Structure formats: structure tokens, C-alpha cells
Structure 1
Amino acid sequence: MEYGLGKKAFKDWVVAEVSFSPDMLGKGEAIMYLGNGYMGLRSATEEAYLKETRNLFVSGTFNKAEQNEVTELPNLADVTKLDIRIDGERFSLEFGETKDYVRQLNVKTAELTRSFHWTSPKGKELEFLFKRFVSLDNLHVIAMKMEVESLTESVEISFDSGINAQVTNSGSQHFLEGERRVYDRRFVQLVQTTNESGIDVVHNTAHKVFVNGHQVNTEPKMDMSRRKVWLTYDLTLGQGEKLEVEKLTTVYTNRDKEFDKPTYELSQLREHGIADLKEAVARGYDNLFEAHRTAWQNKVWNVYNFEVDSEDSFDQLALRFALYHLTIMTPAHDERMGIGAKALSGEGYKGHSFWDTEIFILPFFTYSNPHIAKSLLTYRYHGLAGARRKALENGYEGAMYPWEAAWPTDGEVTPAWGDVDIVTGEQTKIWSGLIEQHITSDISFAVYQYYRVTGDEEFMTNHGYEMIFDTAKFWASRLEWNDKKEEYHINNVIGPDEYKEHVDNNAYTNYMAYFNLKLASRFFEKLKKENPKRFTELDNQLSLTKAYPIWEKKAEKLYLPKPQEADLVIPQDDTYLRLKEIDLTKYKNQEGVRGIYKDYNPEQINKIQVTKQADVLVLLYLLEQTFLNEDYRFSYEVKKANFNFYEPKTLHDSSLSLATHAILANDIGKQELAYSLFKEACEIDLGPYMHTSDEGVHAASIGGIWSAAVFGFAGIRIKGNQLSIHPKLPKHWNRMNFTIKWKEQPLTITISQSALSIKAESKGSIVCEIFGKLYSFENEVEIPIRNIQLADI
């Protein structure tokens, strides 16, 4: 991989690979994938290779391939493959000689290009250029372009191009055999219908062919076979002549809001898709691309305005890479849809949503684009039906959110079985769908954080209060009374550290449940006083008056593991501090992840003092942003002691972990370590290891890149009712600049090594806590940093 190819206006905007290997296709396909939140297109090459993975996903189109499988995002028909023949022989970079190979994603324009000089086995030299994008201007459009120039002598070029629905999800077929058709020998259409959820997908594609800038109107050959329809073009290029082919595609489904109606008919979807395609063909690749480029500039780069002046230009690129992927992974167009753990870049985790969204991705939108944050939280509101069903099925009350979520009403969709047990050779049981329950309070925290940052009372009235109250009802029913200690416990759970299964009193789970209960009590009192009408509605629906004293009583009697007197360490669970210690050096220095599973099975790991990812530390990070922040258990001293204890024991075998550690390391003055952890988080997808992203990008880690910069280096936090800013830039960062929103007010924050400035873009009055001191200002304020003593900080 190469990250320095961008020049002039595109400096630090380009992610590239500069050599081709048919054995290492996955990384480029994933990290350079294209999308717009409606759909995601994995960046497989136009010509086919054995180890390629061709994926096209449309958000929300979940389907269950078989009764014994869980629902997943189905892999839609492929439109990117071109079967190219040069002088009658299949074109492949595995044959002949390739020079000057570059494939690059320009994250500023969201266009993928690939170019190289190729000498055929017969000695003929050709220059290739491929381009493609998935439009942010029209969410249904995929545009591709191929240019081939014959440099030495005449050459026969033939290519097959169309729509191929023979693809699967790793062998699972999600679609019925669909209708295929070619209109006017030009417009190709293929219909797919999912075999369980009954979702219709209509693909339409067309081509424009030019030689030396003049459109060629020769009619192609038409053909179709099972689940496939295509056109064949045959052309001759003389020496110095250039072929240009534009392939334009539209994708529509009846899950799209404009068609998801009782009056829906498939004919409407087909006609609309073809009409949209014809309009796209009339405009052509270049005009479509210009509209797409403008949409990116106006909707993304002008809005987030994130710049880092670092002595290492990789830092700026990594943050832009994060903003690019946060944009294309998020279904901002539809509040019925969430974000998958692998975004829309691969089949990993089946497109399901986890706590990743609320804790590691949503904060970016809450602070930067609250309209999208509201949409993502509304998805969880729509999921209350499935959460209530899960609670009931497990013998509890209220709303128990699924560990893995798909369509919001589906409920729990976590698979039952996972990887091989290296001791028994059997499949390992996946327990997270049953006993990893902290996601319920994670969602409540996300609602609270959104409300504190935005002040969106309308969302709370329509959705948020109900979510908080019903999740609190779950926790109240989940707590278990311990007669001996006369307190409530939460037994048999998995906390964020998934290397510890079936533990009692996981600190994170207990404290977050406590927070959820106390939050519900606060909102009960607030809503009853400020909006009695809505209070009465929810009281009738959820029996709030009966639930309130139970929340109060059980919260006060809930066991919360305290910092030990000797070292201030909060026990991760009842047994963690008594587990066997081993030398973790081998696993801390591993190139990949989960290396410990090659030596131990889950039962053995459960008995070792080792942590998969941040657990107690993410608890400290989250709750200091709440009304509990004055509690001594979340003090600086406790944070420092727990960081020093748990960090050496944490393998960061989850991509969620590094960003949290980076933020806390910066908080406690370990700035070099903080930057090192930030860099590691960036390199999970962008780093040198070529197989880390084969199954897709790490969506939560990408959100963590932004969080480590903004919550870590810029020191942004909620404190009480105020925005708190406490920056500590890495030594080699000269300046960082970004825009967030606080109570609907856009604030542009600029931090250098010597000064902090805040500009209210709407020219309003702002109150912020900066370095522990309240500042009230109109329009803009600048605070010197160098003159502030460490004691004051």
C-alpha cells in the first residue's frame, strides 16, 4: 500500500496500491470500497481472479437463506465484472507483463481508478485505465469507465458485460431465479427476489462505447443464462487508437421508502429504474461524476472541515479516510437501517449492527451531524419491538436489545455457533446473543449523549424517553438478589471483554445498568414535571409510576465493584483478579489478532488474566461524561491506576479497543503512548498487513480514529451542562481544525501548540469550560495554551 501519491489539491487524499498480487486482493477490495450509505460496492477488479470477493450490498435488504441460518445482508448481482479478451485470449494480469500499476481511491472525490501498462503474451503493448464511483448525488447510480489504448499495433478487443446474479454469500444463495431482459439491444435488466423476506431488487445497466472520441453504434450480441444476462462487444483498435466504454447502472429495491407501500407493484420498480438509467446514460460518466464530486464537497468536506497539520502526513490522510468511510457506511437516507460492523464492505458479521454503532461510531454524528445521529437512534427505537420480544423470551420485562441486530423488528440475530475449538475440534458456542447484555445500557447512554449535545427535546418526547424507561424496566427485572450480601448482582454475563464468558458482576455491565436505572429515574421526574401529557401516555403504556420506586430501590442496592484501597484497581468481574497470569508478550506483539486462540480454547482463556479489549477502561471513559462524573470512582487517580493495570493485559484483539486506550492515555499524560495507540488504530485498515481487512473494514475502529483525535487530542467532553475542551496535541501536530455542533450551533475549533480558538459560526453566545475554567463569549474566543501551567490543567 502507498499513501503518498496524492499531489497538489489531492495531497493526503489518496489511498493506493502500487503492485498487483492475485493472492492479496482482499485488503484493496475492502478499504477502497465505494458507497453512499444506500449501497456499498466492494472494489474487486474488472477482470476476474480466483481469490476475489465480489460484493454489492443494499442497506436493509436482510434475508435468511435457510431456516437454520440467521438473516444477513444478501450479496446482490455483480455489475463490475468485465470478461475482456485481447486477440481472442482472456485478459488477466497473471499473464503477460505489467508496468506502472497503480490502483487508487481518492477519498476527496470518492472515485476509484486503476491504471497500468500491459504487454500481452503476444508482445502487444496496451495502456489501461479503469474508473468507477457510487454516486452520492443519486444514491441508486453506479458508474464505471474503461479506457484502452493500443500503443504498438492493431489488436482485437472483445468484452462481455452485463449483470451476473450467480454470486452468493460464501455459498448461500439468497435469491430466487429472476427475470432477465434486454431492451432495445442496449438496456439490460435483471430482477432478483429474496427467497425468505420477499424483497425485490431491480438492476439496470447500459453501455456507451467510443473509439477515438466518437461514439460507436454497432449492435452488441445479446446472451443470457441462469441468473445472468450480458452483451458482447467486438472491436478492432489500430495502433494509437483508444477505446472508451462507459457502463452505467441503477439499483432499486422495494424496501426503498418511495416503493415500500401497500400499493407497490414490481412493474413500478422496473419502470422507474429503467427511466433513471436512461437519464444517467444521457448525462454520461463525466457529468454524473461532477455532480457526485460536488455532493461530496458540499455534504461532507465543507461540513466536517477537518484538517491536521502534522509532521507525519499519514495522520491527515487517516482522518480523511475515516470521514470517507463514516459517510459511505451510514444509511442516512432511512431511519429503519443501522450500520454493520463491517460497514458495507464485506460479508463479515453478516451486515449486523452491534454496540459498535452507539459507542464508537455514533459520537461522530452526534457531534458533527446530529440529523444522521437522530436517524441511527430512531433505528434503535424501531427495534424496541424486537427488544421487547427478546426480553419476554428470556423471562424479563421491558426492552432487552439484541446483541446483533438486522431489520429493526427482527430481534436477536446472533449466530449460535462460531470458530473451531482447538482442543475438541468442535464448533464453539457463541454466547454473546444470550448473555452479552450491556448493549441495552449502551443504547441508553447513546440516547443520553445525543440529548446532552443537541438538546433535541422532540426526539426525546417521541422516542428517547420511551427507550430509556423500557431499558430500565429490563435491568430492574434482570438484577438478582444476593441474600448473603443483601445486594443485587448481575450474574452469568459477558462484558466488553469477550474473553471472559459466564462471569458475575462484570464492572462495566453493573455500572452501566446502574446508570440506566438512575437515568430513567431522572427522566421520570423531568417528564412528569415538564410534559405531563406525554408522561401520562407513557405511564399508561409502561406503568412508570409503578416502575419508578423499583428503579430507585434496586439502583441503590446494586453491587458496584469499587476501586481497591491498595491500588485503586476496579475488579473487572468477581474472579478476574484471582485468575492465572501468563506472559502475554507473544500475543501483545502479534501481527494479526486472536493469536491466543491458536494456543488456548475459550474455556482456558476464561481462566487467564488476559483481556480482549477495553472493558473497565471504556466504563471510566463513558461515565465521566455523565451526571456520575463527580463520583470518586471515576477520578483521575482511579483512571490512571486502572489504565496502568489493564493496558498491559489487553491484547486489543478487537478493533474497538485501541481508540479508547488512546483517549485515556492522553487524559493521564501518556501522550507518546496515546499517539502510538492512535496510529495503531489507523493502521488496522490502512497498515502494512495485507490480510487484516479481507472480510471488510473495521467500522468501529474507523469511528475510533475520529474519537481519538477529537475526544483524545482535542479533549472534547460533556461536563455537566457544558462543553468541555482540554486539548493535548501530539508534539508533532502543529495544528488541528474541525467543526462540531453544540446545541445546534456549529463551532469551528482550531488548536495549535500555543493557542485554542473557538468560533461560533452562527454568531451566537457560547459558554464552554476550557482547562477547567468557564468562558462565556460571543462569536469567537482564543485562549493561550503555553501560559497554562500543568497544575492548572
Structure 2
Amino acid sequence: MMKYDLGEGDFKNWIVAEADFSRNLLGKAEAVMSLGNGYMGLRSATEEPYVGEVRNLFVAGTFNQSDRIEVSELPNAADVTRLDIRVDGERLDAAPSRTANYVRALNLKEAELTRSFIWTTSAGKEVAFTFKRFVSLDNLHVIAMSLEIEALDADVQISIESGINAQVANSGSQHFYEGEKRIYDKKYIEMIQKTVESQIDFMFHTVHHASLDGVELEEPFMRIDRRVVMLTFKSAVAKGQKLSLEKLTTVHTSRDKDLAGMELQDMRQQALSSLRACAAKGYDALLLEHARAWERKVWEVYPLHIDSENDFDLLAARFALYHLTVMTPAHDERMGIAAKGLSGEGYHGHSFWDTEMFILPFFTYSNPQIARSLLTYRYLGLEGARKKAKSNGYEGAMYPWEAAWPSDGEVAPEWGRVDVVTGKQTKIWTGFIEQHITADVAFAVWQYYMATDDQAFMEEFGYEIIFDTAKFWASRLEWDDSRQQYSINDVIGPDEYKEHVDNNAFTNYFAHFNLELAVTYYQQLRERDTAVYQKLNAKLQLEQAAIAWNEAIDKLYLPQPRDTDLLVPQDDTYLTKRIIDLTKYKNQTHVNTIFEDYSLEQLSDIQVSKQADLMILFYLLEDKFSEEVKIANYHYYEPKTLHDSSLSLSTHAILANDLNDRSLAYQLYQQACEIDLGPDMKSSDLGMHTASIGGIWQIIVMGFAGVRMIHGKLRMNPKLPAHWNKLEFSISWKGQRLEVAIGKDKLVITALDQLPVTLEVYGTEYSFDHVLTVNLASGDN
């Protein structure tokens, strides 16, 4: 059972905890309490092993294919957290019948995981255990652990085996050669491994410090076996005594920028020296540096406070900021954000449209430097995108639905869930025909540029992305004689329950936006920056491309609201499909229950949607549709949307708030927060729902605070939930940080650099250069 009210004093609404332990429900805490720093992510499996556990350590960007017919994925690296702990020869097992005062807690503020309990041996002896660990944000290569064992009522014999265990896999797929193993000075453990296909060297180094009441233990027993290097510490512990073990591990790879070009021997020496320096400091000093880094890099940069009658609202927001930090490889522009972050094997560590649509806005408006890095990853991915376009017979850049290393191109698997009718695996078509991601990337580039005015990025990277994606769309269009317009046929839109559809509205509108953007920037560069224009024209043949863009813009079919009911067809056939009673699936306690009754092919003939489709179009291109159209379509499509994807709730929450259904908006906010933090103890087994995490921030800032960018201009129309007294946060706008405070009847914005700012609040334009105070009228506001 998860608990969110254990924080007190300075840590109130900072603690995510597990108040009891179940060997049958391990995945929830493993993922929700996962640790990381963007360089690596560590799933929070317990130190003692259990059947069904998932021990994952992922290093961002280290993709490998275990076999040529397998997809490239992040390899599960050697495990350093498992400990074999025995008391009087009996292995520790924290079964509830033998355990008291069990608490496992993640301190979001300091990013430290702790676990404590009293265990009773089969002989009736009581022993207290306290475990601590963190993955450093100060030194990205460090994993630190601490263990304290106290004999409470009797003398005991303690044995602890610890080290580096490379007997791991990705759901059975082995990614590493066995490698080299060594122990230096009976103290420093080293394991060097290489991935079998991508040939990336991994260097693991571990050191222990074991003591009894402050006195160092004798030398441990050493063991080297296949893919394993271990030390065993043994000691008699008298009643009242405490045995302590600190374990520090460093992880380096040949993909690290600071090790680029070095010989393996030099890399391992540098990594070993790094471990020795950490050992000289110890756990507590490293924790202090780590906690300071979190304060400096996260909580000072992303100040957010919610004065709510429900404390969970603030904790959930902080939880989102925590995971947005640990999932993001901010250190290296060659890497993107995985759909499960670095918290589980789900989706193989691949990046989707989730980043651009649901996560990137947080960084664009909160930490533009990281947003720039994530968009540079997409620029580097043009190599793979061009490869995919060419292989499919198109021009320009066709971004992969699932991306790994930038040059890899498409890495989506081809086969997925079982078909309940045929019993066969279902073909995964997303990698072939879910193509809106190409326009999504271009949209994200534009959104970043409008919010930052980063002209240097555009000249070096952004324009080329927009132009080459537009070239793809121009080559992708098909002429429809009946309409005398261009169509985009045989695609999958955001609603992935509808495959092989023609003219998905979201796809068509975003392709059109992409083409319009290319024409606009083409004309601007020709007139204002001939040097950049000439460079890109030579590379992309822009003059010829612009002719096709202009024709496509004028003739691309864009589904319009019907006269009778204002409904915009999601695609050419959606509104002709049969309607069934979806109550059972709308009230489901877990997602995808509809697949227990229908195959994906059958769902194609029913008016049911997996997730927001038209709704995200209304949100992102809101100025293209009237409020009456939005209302009509919201009330039609929302009852048919099962929210079987974690991406969906945030969009519907924002639109509900826009349309003044604040109670529903808050209800959807709670549901989004509870995807990972809620009572479903199986929801996070495969890893965190990273798009939903980004969506939580968007509901707060883009929804309740009403922050939007329209045609490059800032707008803020706050509509707080009724039980929120105040919302405070900051955003970055045009290179300046704005601090925002929204109360029941007042909006206050402070420009920290005292640079001029212009924005609109409920239809009124304001200009200021220091502090703006707006009295919020009653009624719809």
C-alpha cells in the first residue's frame, strides 16, 4: 500500500512511501521509487532478492541489438544493489508475518531512498534493518548504498555478500560479453563488459566499507565466478551492537563524452580513480553533495507550490518534477527521453512522440537549455529519418515512430499483443504508418523557437528539420480526384485503435502546419538571411521543394466541422462506424480491458478511441477552431475515449478546463496523477509513464494557469480548481524567467530580469518590465 502523508516539517508533501511489503506486488515501488540522474536509471528493487523482482540499471544512449532479428534496446547493465544477507545462517526475507514497522520511502526533495523494518528470525531474535541509497545528481556516475543492522534482543551472526552481478538480461535477451573481472587490494571490485553488437564498453567499479560499532571488519572472503564478482563480510554482532556497510559504485561507458577516443586501459584507470575519490568521501558526504545538487539544479530552477485543500495535489506535482529530472539525459544531446524513462524495460528505452508533445513543453518553458539538447537529438536523428523516408519511397526526413541512437532510424518492433480472435500475435503498424510524429517534431521546434527566440538554434538545426520534414509531407500526399484535393491515406493517428485510415484529422492538420511553417521560413530566409538560405538550399534544394510546398498547402484536404452538428470527422470513416455501450470499459480499473472482448481489427469498426486524437489537435492548434466546435466535439468524442494510454488524460483535462468544466478537469488531473501514484499496484510494473508525468505539469501550467503561446505571443487565462487557494510557479519566456502567483482573485507576474514583457490575460494585452498585477474578474475566470 502506498502512503503519501508520512512527510513532516520540512519534508511535508515530499515523501512517497510504501507502508507494507508484498512479494506479489514488487513492480509498483520498483518503478515509482526508481532513482536516476538522466545518465543512468536504477530501478528500486529491494536489496534482498524475491521471485518476480525486476532489477534494472540502464545507462542512457547505450543501445544494443542482442541479435540481428531483435530490436535495438537499452541493455540491462550489471546489478550492484542485490545483497545476500543472512542472520544466523537464515536468509533475510521481509515477509509481513515476520516483519514489523516496515517503511520504504522516497524523499523527493533529496532524492534518497530509505527502507527500515524489524525482522524476527525463525529463532525469535529481533534484528533492525535500515537501508539507504541514491544515484548522484552531483556526480552522474555514482550509485551509493548504506546498510545498518542492529541486534535488538540477542547476539547474532551476520553474513553479507555484495558485489557486481552481471547475470542479468532484458527479458531473456543477453547484451554483453562476459568481460573481465578483478579485485584490487582485496577491496576495489572491477568488472569490464562490452555490448555484443554496438561494442560499447561498460566499466563497473565498487568499493565497500564494513564496520561494527565503528571498528572496521576483517578482510572479506573474495569470490569471482561467471559474470559475478563478490565479497562476503561476516561478523558476530552482540545485542545492542550495529553492523554498518557502505557500498559505493561508479558506472562509466565508452559512450561517455569525456572518455571519447580513449583506450580501454586509460578509461578503466580513470574510472577506478573516480571510485577511489568517492571512497575517500564516504556515503554521507556524497549524499550532502547530491542533495545540494538537487536543490541547485531542480528545486531552485523549478519552483512550484500549490496551496490546496488536498495535500496530494502538491506531492503529485513534485513527484512529476522529480521524474522529469531522473528520466532526462540532459548531459548529452545525442540522447532522447525513453517512453518509460530509465525505470523499466517497457518500450526498450525508445523515444516516441511523447517527448515532443508531452514532455518537451516543460523544458521549453522551464529549462530551455535542456529543451535545446532534446531537439538537437532530433536534429542528429535526421540521418535515421532520411534513411526511413528513402526506404519507404519518400523524400526528405520521415521520423521513426520509435527512435534509439540517432542514426538507427526506425526501431519499432513488428509484432505485439495476442489477437483474442485468432490467437496470433498482432502486427504492430505504428512503425510503418503512424507518421504524424514527423510533423510533431517540426511543431516542437517551432514552439521552442517562439518561446526562446533562439535564432542560433534555428540556423544550426531548426530550419533544416522543418524544411526536410516538409519535403517528406509533400512527397507523402496522394491526389484524390473525387475531392480535387490531396489526401494522406493509410495512416494511424494518435487514436491507435484505428489503423489504416485515410485523412486522420490530426495528421492532416499537422502536416499542413509543417508545410506552412516551411514556406514561411523559406521566404524569411530568402529575404533576411541569404547566407543561411544558400547553405540550406545547396543541401536540400529548397527552391524546387518550395514549389511543391505551396501547391500542397493550397490543396491539402483538412476535415471541416459538419454543418449539422459541428463534428470534425476524426478520419474519413470514424463517424460511420457502429456505436456500442462503452460503460464497462469507461469504468475499468485497469487499461486495455476492451481487448478481452475485441480484437484490434474489430475495434476498427467501432466508434471507440484509445486516447485523445482530435482533442490534442484542438489543444495545440486551438486558434484554428471555434469554441462552439471544440465543445461539440469534446462532448461527442470524450465519452468514446477510453484513455487506455497514459498520454490521454492530460489533454482532456486541459480542454475540460478551457471549456469551463473545472470539476471534470480536476478529476482528470487526479486520474493522471494516479496512473503511477494511484491504488493500482500493477500499473507501473513495466516502468514509469513519462508522457503522463509531463502531462501533469501541463495540466497545472497550461491548463489551470492557462499559459499558452499563440502565434509567438504569450497568453495566460487562469482557471484554478475551486479548492486551490493559490498556485505559484515560474516559466522561461524569451530568455527571461517569469515568476507567477495566481490566487482566487489576483494574478501577479514578476519579470526577474526586468526586461519588457507583453502578454494577454482574458483578452486584454498588458506590457510591463517588472511586476504585473491583474485582478481576476468573477464568472468564467
Structure-1 residue corresponding to 2:466: 468
CA offset at residue 192 of structure 1? 1.1
* TM-superposition CA deviations, 1:365-421 (whole Å, max 9, x none): 000000000000000000000000100000000000000000000000000100111
Partner of residue 405 from structure 1, selected from 367, 387, 403: 403
AA in 2 matched with 1:251: V
Using structure 2 for the length normalisation, give the TM-score: 0.99
Structure-1 residue corresponding to 2:504: 506
Matched, 1:733 2:747: no
Matched, 1:603 2:594: no
Structure-2 residue corresponding to 1:210: 211
Pairing 1:348-363 to 2, within 5 Å after superposition: 348-363=346-361
> 1 CA distance for matches of 2:97 and 2:273?
42
Using structure 1 for the length normalisation, give the TM-score: 0.98
Structure-1 residue corresponding to 2:535: 537
* TM-superposition CA deviations, 1:290-322 (whole Å, max 9, x none): 000000001100111100000000000000000
Partner of residue 655 from structure 1, selected from 635, 638, 646: 646
Q: Does the CA-based 8 Å contact 1:148-1:242 persist in structure 2? A: yes
> 1 CA distance for matches of 2:27 and 2:611?
25
AA in 2 matched with 1:654: S
Pairing 1:35-54 to 2, within 5 Å after superposition: 35-54=36-55
Matched, 1:250 2:250: yes
* TM-superposition CA deviations, 1:494-542 (whole Å, max 9, x none): 0000000000000000010000000000010111122100100101111
Matched, 1:782 2:773: yes
Q: Does the CA-based 8 Å contact 2:57-2:76 persist in structure 1? A: yes
**Shift in alpha-carbon separation, 1:95–1:30, aligned structure 2, 3 A:** closer
- Partner SS, residue 101 of structure 2: strand
In the alignment, structure 1 segments of 5+ residues that lack a partner are none
Structure-1 residue corresponding to 2:189: 188
> 2 CA distance for matches of 1:383 and 1:89?
53
> 1 CA distance for matches of 2:98 and 2:480?
73
Partner of residue 742 from structure 1, selected from 712, 733, 741: 733
AA in 2 matched with 1:279: A
- Partner SS, residue 175 of structure 1: coil
> 2 CA distance for matches of 1:260 and 1:62?
17
Q: Does the CA-based 8 Å contact 1:96-1:119 persist in structure 2? A: no
Structure-1 residue corresponding to 2:241: 241
Structure-1 residue corresponding to 2:676: 685
Matched, 1:280 2:271: no
AA in 2 matched with 1:507: A
Matched, 1:75 2:76: yes
Pairing 1:265-276 to 2, within 5 Å after superposition: 265-276=263-274
Pairing 1:94-173 to 2, within 5 Å after superposition: 94=95, 97-173=98-174
Q: Does the CA-based 8 Å contact 1:81-1:161 persist in structure 2? A: yes
Structure-2 residue corresponding to 1:227: 227
Partner of residue 617 from structure 1, selected from 605, 615, 618: 615
Pairing 1:657-672 to 2, within 5 Å after superposition: 657-672=648-663
Partner of residue 391 from structure 1, selected from 389, 392, 395: 389
* Structure 1, 638-647 or 369-378: larger mean CA deviation: 638-647
Percentage identity across paired residues of the two chains = 59
* Cα RMSD (Å): 0.9
> 2 CA distance for matches of 1:94 and 1:182?
34
Pairing 1:283-362 to 2, within 5 Å after superposition: 283-362=281-360
* Structure 1, 351-360 or 560-569: larger mean CA deviation: 560-569
> 2 CA distance for matches of 1:97 and 1:49?
15
> 1 CA distance for matches of 2:219 and 2:554?
78
The count of corresponding residues between Structure 1 and Structure 2 is 780
> 2 CA distance for matches of 1:336 and 1:233?
41
AA in 1 matched with 2:497: Y
Q: Does the CA-based 8 Å contact 1:96-1:120 persist in structure 2? A: no
Pairing 1:492-503 to 2, within 5 Å after superposition: 492-503=490-501
AA in 2 matched with 1:240: G
Pairing 1:627-776 to 2, within 5 Å after superposition: 629=623, 631=624, 634-776=625-767
> 1 CA distance for matches of 2:558 and 2:198?
44
Q: Does the CA-based 8 Å contact 1:96-1:118 persist in structure 2? A: no
> 2 CA distance for matches of 1:724 and 1:484?
41
AA in 2 matched with 1:336: R
In the alignment, structure 2 segments of 5+ residues that lack a partner are none
Structure-1 residue corresponding to 2:515: 517
> 2 CA distance for matches of 1:33 and 1:597?
30
> 1 CA distance for matches of 2:307 and 2:60?
36
CA offset at residue 612 of structure 1? 0.3
* TM-superposition CA deviations, 1:732-774 (whole Å, max 9, x none): 0000100110001000000011100000111222111111111
Q: Does the CA-based 8 Å contact 2:368-2:452 persist in structure 1? A: yes
CA offset at residue 778 of structure 1? 2.1
* Structure 1, 36-45 or 417-426: larger mean CA deviation: 417-426
CA offset at residue 721 of structure 1? 3.2
Structure-1 residue corresponding to 2:373: 375
* TM-superposition CA deviations, 1:480-501 (whole Å, max 9, x none): 0012221100000000000000
- Partner SS, residue 303 of structure 1: coil
- Partner SS, residue 122 of structure 1: coil
Q: Does the CA-based 8 Å contact 1:96-1:121 persist in structure 2? A: no
* Structure 1, 720-729 or 155-164: larger mean CA deviation: 720-729
Q: Does the CA-based 8 Å contact 1:390-1:400 persist in structure 2? A: yes
> 1 CA distance for matches of 2:154 and 2:28?
36
Partner of residue 567 from structure 1, selected from 561, 565, 568: 565
Q: Does the CA-based 8 Å contact 1:717-1:724 persist in structure 2? A: yes
Q: Does the CA-based 8 Å contact 2:217-2:235 persist in structure 1? A: no
AA in 1 matched with 2:242: K
Q: Does the CA-based 8 Å contact 1:254-1:260 persist in structure 2? A: yes
- Partner SS, residue 306 of structure 2: strand
> 2 CA distance for matches of 1:253 and 1:772?
53
**Shift in alpha-carbon separation, 1:96–1:554, aligned structure 2, 3 A:** closer
> 1 CA distance for matches of 2:88 and 2:217?
22
CA offset at residue 217 of structure 1? 4.3
Q: Does the CA-based 8 Å contact 2:135-2:143 persist in structure 1? A: yes
Structure-2 residue corresponding to 1:591: 589
* TM-superposition CA deviations, 1:700-732 (whole Å, max 9, x none): 000000000000000000123321000000000
* TM-superposition CA deviations, 1:115-150 (whole Å, max 9, x none): 011111111101110000000000000000001100
CA offset at residue 777 of structure 1? 1.1
* TM-superposition CA deviations, 1:146-193 (whole Å, max 9, x none): 011000011000011000000100111000111000000000011111
* TM-superposition CA deviations, 1:663-704 (whole Å, max 9, x none): 000000000000000100000000001000000010000000
- Partner SS, residue 406 of structure 2: coil
Structure 1's consecutive aligned runs of 4 or more residues displaced over 6 angstroms after TM superposition are none
CA offset at residue 256 of structure 1? 0.3
Structure-1 residue corresponding to 2:448: 450
- Partner SS, residue 301 of structure 2: helix
- Partner SS, residue 740 of structure 2: strand
